[in-house]
Amino acid sequence: MSLNFFSFFLEGTHHQCILVKHRVLQAETKRMNLTVCSAIASRHMKSSSSLTWIAPTKRLVLLIKVRWGVSHARPPTESRPGHVAIIAGFYEDPSAVTKACKVDDLMSLSSHSIHIGPCKSSPVTYQCLYCQLFYRFFVVVCPGVPIRYSIIISQSPNNVSGSVVCVDTNFMSIFNADASFLDEWSFDQFQSLLNSSNDDPKLKQVLLQDNLVIFLHLLGCDSNGHAHRPYSSIYLNNVRVVDRIAEGVYNLVEGFFKDNQTAYVFTADHGMSDKGSHGDGHPANTDTPLVAWGAGVKYPKRVFHTSHPDDGFRFVDEHMHDVPTPRDWGLSTTERVDVNQADIAPLMSALLGLPCPVNSVGNLPLGYINLSEAEEVEAVVANTKQILSQFLRKSQLKQANSLRFKPYKPLEKYYSYLEKIEDLLSSKDYKAAMEMSYTLRRLSLEGLHYFQTYDWFMLMTVVTLGYIGWMVYLALHVLQSYTAFPGNVYRKANQVYICGFMLMGVISVLMFLERSPPLYHVYTSMTVFLWTQIFSEYQFLKAMWKTLSGSKVDVIVKLLATCVVSVFILEFLVYSFTERKLYTLYFLIVGVVASIYLLTSVRGRSSAPIFVWVSCWFLSVFTLMPAEIPDNTLLVFASGAIIILIGVGARCFESSIQGHKNWLGMLKYDKQKPSSPMLFYVQILLVGLSSGMVWLSTSHRTENQELLILHQLVNWLIAGFSMVLPLFSPTGPVSRLTSIFLGFAPPFLLLSIGYEAVFYSALALVLMAWILFECAVYSFRQAQIDSTFMKNVKGKIILGHDERCLQLSDMRVPLIFMVLFNVAFFGTGNFASIASFEISSVYRFITVFSPFLMAALLIFKLFIPFMLVICAFSAVTKLIRVSRLGCYFLVILCSDVMTIHFFFLVRNTGSWMEIGNSISHFGIVSAQVVFVLLLFALTNIYTQNIQIESRPSSSLKAM
């Protein structure tokens, strides 16, 4: 089928366009979902009763001559994965985003490709279509002109000749302003391109030939959606601009080609949340519009029921998606046809008469194509054969590399299906042929999934044994090195190493014969190595079992109770990843229990129990608040005053304990002269200045004014200088921790937009309460611990300078650390979600669109609460005189228990939100150990000089 093709590709935040077969023109506009969509309708300022049609052009064609539906994307809902799904027809693995993107797609099938728009500075996030274009042509850059915008003409697929026209519009400095003029600039360049072809015969020849792709990149909605939110007046005005551009492009194309052979497809690669972010599997990000009209496209079908007829539509994972059409759209009488996002590639291929991309797994949506019954069957059969070819290739590759190949049984005789389909076509039994094709296509997709998960059971077994082996090995290391168990007196069994290396060699040879990926070798080798290390400690394991079996019943009960409580708390943390409100219940209970314990253990009248109770209950409020943080500059400004009050209170507390014998002993304070208050006053001043700069910077942004360079410089200086000052503070635990709290407050305030600024203070209060609680527990039990310990471990040597051996009750410290660390993670939102990052929080430091710097600032903001928790953890280990490294190993052990649980929760079926969340949760907990170690190294700069009262060493260890 030979026809022109014009496709508007809306992306959620930036626009792009394409022209294929005679030509495809695809325009992309991000932040286009079912709630706010310039292709359909837009709610004005979140008011469901105030529905304003701000795109009259598309509204008109929508009611007269279009087919429409919902395109369902899958996470991650970012630019490149959506581009790959739309132009190549398959869902790219998230791990591939950091790699080059060279796949068969509609552009590689075209004769020429033309790109008009900005040259993005992020090769990772935006390299999808650019990579598709750039690796096929040679770019000529005008000397001395920055590559801000470009017009690129290339010959596909492998001709390197081409040209580029660069225009410097100083785009990078206006990210915080109204960016709709960027769309108008792109349209003007497209219009100039068509006009200039009248005087350029070669360009005219390129534009008039078949299989031409034009990519018109409209960035305005992307920038305005992120900077001003999708419900802002600036964004809605940008939608009107896009509508005018759509009408203008339509008139240009029809006037230039004059053949009425253009098909129009209007869609998006992802949507956007109300706060201007995207990336996760929320329906606001995955549900996007799909509107098609023109040559080769069916006319709209009238229906007389409120729900759309495709209620049974399912994703390829068989998950039901039935988003009802809002009544106020006025489309209840127009048939709605939903598709998977990957289905758009075969749709465009069919409209162009081009072969489908070889890796496409999309199903041809017949509801959009105007074909006869015979042509429909032929198209579906071709689509089925293309997917079947992928299955056969996968089967061939796996069979060639497997020593014991297990075929996919339902398609062992696939050729019989093809023969039946051909016979049915010959007899013109189109209905039966269609059903047989659908069956074969479904089996082919299932077969592809079968071979993609062919090694699933083996890998699950190896990884599980690896995790268990690592946890056992880590537990043995802690018992040998940081407890009273005599770990070094037993020799390791060398013959175990010989057997282990032989087993590793055999497995490696078998995997080499099967041509397994290098990671398979790494997984199996690490698992065998860990279990070899464990079995080499046979003598120690035997002695430990003998000791436990000879212990009293109460010791065994205490050990089992500690294990049960530990697992219960860790499982609580696992479920808190999906239900933040559990932390509210936790702190309400802990506040009461800890207060009662302090009332009974602290001698004399003290306000510590009340402080602990109020702090825990104060922090419990934040996990009830919405994960999407609303803008509240006044609250951020007020939180600066709260931070100052907390700092003054800590200073007064430090002065008061100099004359309080109990607290002086519990906090291990040497009597020392009061330190100079100058540093404290400077830090208080910086907190006040940062609060003022928050107010000033936000007021400029509210008035749509560009943030002055002087304001940005002041913000950077305040943040940088304040983080250095704690290094010069007194070395007492309260003094140093207070200085750290005040030192990181200015950058956190400058990166805050709402209630998370108050959360910083609440978390600090709970951390101080934890320190007081641990000191009280240690002081209350110190006499019994020391006497018992000295009786049982005579003849032992010192474990470390003024440190004692770990005991079973010390498991409390890493468990509380894990809870507080995860509260820092989820206290102000769901940071397991990509879309939880609030990009507007970086505008006080930068208004230039610099993805890497913005991401670095967002991650730094996320790490500040973690650093407070780790500093408090370091102080606790010093105050109760245990090895910080030993406690850190216990933290790793706890993290691994959670990791192995999340490993079994990883899903590849269900809704895209469930799949995306399961993967992100597993990734976060897996990486937690690494960045905790990095933060330990960083915070050690601040905490290594903390001084406590010296005492005779009682930490003894077996020789």
pLDDT score, position 675: 57
Non-local CB neighbours of 412 within 8 Å, separated by 6+ positions: none
Q: Which amino acid is at 467?
A: Y
What band does 544 get if pLDDT is binned at 50, 70 and 90? Answer: confident
Tell me the β-bridge partners of 153.
114, 163
- Give, for 67, the enclosing helix (H) or strand (E): strand 67-72
Q: What angle do CA 471, 474, 476 make, to 5 degrees?
A: 110
DSSP 590-641: HHHHHHHHHHHHS-S--SHHHHHHHHHHHHHTGGGS-SSPPP-HHHHHHHHH
Q: What is the pTM of this model?
A: 0.74
* pLDDT for 60 beyond 90: no
Is the pLDDT score of 145 beyond 90? no
CA distance 179 to 224: 6
Give the range with max mean pLDDT: 257-271, 510-524, 936-950.
510-524
Does pLDDT of 147 surpass 80? no
Tell me the pairing of strands 47-52 and 262-267: unpaired
Q: pLDDT band at residue 172, thresholds of 50, 70 and 90?
A: very low
The DSSP 8-state label assigned to residue 300 in this structure reads P
pLDDT band at 325 (very low <50, low <70, confident <90, very high): confident
pLDDT tens-digit map of 554-595: 888 998 999 999 999 999 999 888 888 889 999 999 999 999
Which of 286-290, 529-533, 905-909 holds the top average pLDDT?
529-533
> Domain locations in the chain?
27-99+122-156+177-315+327-370, 551-787+798-944
How many other β-carbons are positioned within 10 Å of the β-carbon of residue 709?
9
What are 891's two structure tokens?
């933290």
**Nearest Cα to 722, choosing from 672, 687, 760?**
687
Do residues 245 and 41 touch, judged by C-beta distance below 8 A?
no
The encoded tokens of residue 275 equal 């706060």
pLDDT above 90 for 449:
no
CA angle 629, 857, 624 (to 5 degrees): 20
| Alpha-carbon gap, residue 926 to 928, rounded angstroms | 5
Residue type, 371: L
Question: Has residue 624 got a pLDDT over 70?
Answer: yes
Angle (CA) 675-678-680 rounded to 5° is 80
Residue 247 burial (10 A CB sphere; 0-12, 13-18, 19+): middle
Select from 320, 345, 356 the least CA-distant residue to 267. Answer: 345
Residue pair 938/867 in contact by the 8 Å Cβ criterion: yes
Q: What pLDDT does 175 receive?
A: 52
Least confident of 461-465, 800-804, 814-818: 800-804
Write down the pLDDT at residue 640.
Answer: 92
Whole-number CA gyration radius for the chain: 32
How far is residue 14's CA from residue 78's CA, in Å, rounded to a whole number? 11
Q: Is the pLDDT of residue 15 over 80?
A: no
**pLDDT of 312 higher than 80:** no
Mean pLDDT, to the nearest integer, of 485-493? Answer: 65
Name the pairing type of β-strands 67-72 and 339-340.
Answer: parallel
Tell me what pLDDT residue 686 has. 94
| Band (659; pLDDT cuts 50, 70, 90) | low
Structure-token pair, residue 939: 């915070």
Lowest mean pLDDT among 311-320, 692-701, 729-738: 311-320
pLDDT exceeds cutoff 70 at 21: no
Structure tokens at 677: 């208050």
Q: 429 versus 267: which is more confidently predicted?
A: 429
114: left (phi over 0), alpha (psi -120 to 50) or beta: beta
pLDDT of residue 354: 78
The tens digit of pLDDT for each residue in 25-53 reads 544 544 443 333 323 222 222 222 222 34
Q: What is the average pLDDT value for the chain, to the nearest integer?
A: 75
Query: Residue 774: is its pLDDT beyond 80?
Result: yes
pLDDT band at 702 (very low <50, low <70, confident <90, very high): low
Least confident segment among 270-284, 475-489, 859-873: 270-284
The Cα–Cα gap between 753 and 275 comes to 12
Q: Which of 743, 641, 739 is nearest to 691 (CA)?
A: 641
26 φ/ψ angles, rounded to the nearest 5 degrees: -115, 120
Q: State residue 439's pLDDT score.
A: 92
Q: What is the pLDDT of residues 502-523, one digit of tens each?
A: 999 999 999 888 888 888 899 9
- How far does Cα 928 stand from its chain's mean position? 14
pLDDT (0 to 100) of residue 28: 52
Mean pLDDT in residue range 160-180: 48
- 607 band by pLDDT with thresholds 50, 70 and 90: confident
**Contact in structure between 82 and 11 (CB atoms under 8 Å):** yes
**With 0-12 CB in 10 A as exposed, 13-18 as middle and 19+ as buried, what is 692?**
middle
Tell me the residue length of the chain.
959
> What pLDDT was estimated at residue 45?
24
Whether 528 shows a pLDDT value over 90: the answer reads yes
Give the three-class secondary structure for 323.
Answer: coil
* pLDDT-wise least confident of 282-291, 737-746, 806-815: 282-291
Q: Which 8-state DSSP code applies to residue 235?
A: H
6 phi/psi in degrees, rounded to 5? -130, 120
- Whether pLDDT at 9 is above 70: no
Contacts of 64 (CB under 8 A, 6+ apart): 300
Q: pLDDT, tens digit, for every residue of 746-761?
A: 999 998 888 888 999 9
pLDDT tens per residue across span 903-923:
988 876 665 666 777 777 888
Taking phi first (over 0 means left), then psi (-120 to 50 degrees means alpha), and beta for anything else, what does residue 802 get? left
Rounded CA separation 618/584 (Å):
10
Please give the C-alpha separations between residue 586 and each of 343, 459, 724, 771, 829, in angstroms, as whole numbers: 46, 36, 35, 18, 17
Q: At residue 797, does pLDDT exceed 50?
A: no
Higher pLDDT, 235 or 394: 394
Is the pLDDT confidence value at 694 over 90? no
Q: What is the mean pLDDT of residues 285-307?
A: 77
Confidence of residue 278 (pLDDT cuts 50, 70, 90): confident
Predicted confidence band of residue 705 (pLDDT cuts 50, 70, 90): low
Sign for the CA dihedral angle at 826, 829, 831, 832 comes to: positive
Pick the CATH number of 27-99+122-156+177-315+327-370 from 2.60.40.10, 3.40.720.10, 3.30.70.20, 3.30.2310.20: 3.40.720.10
Of 400, 406, 392, whose CA–CA distance to 440 is shortest? 392
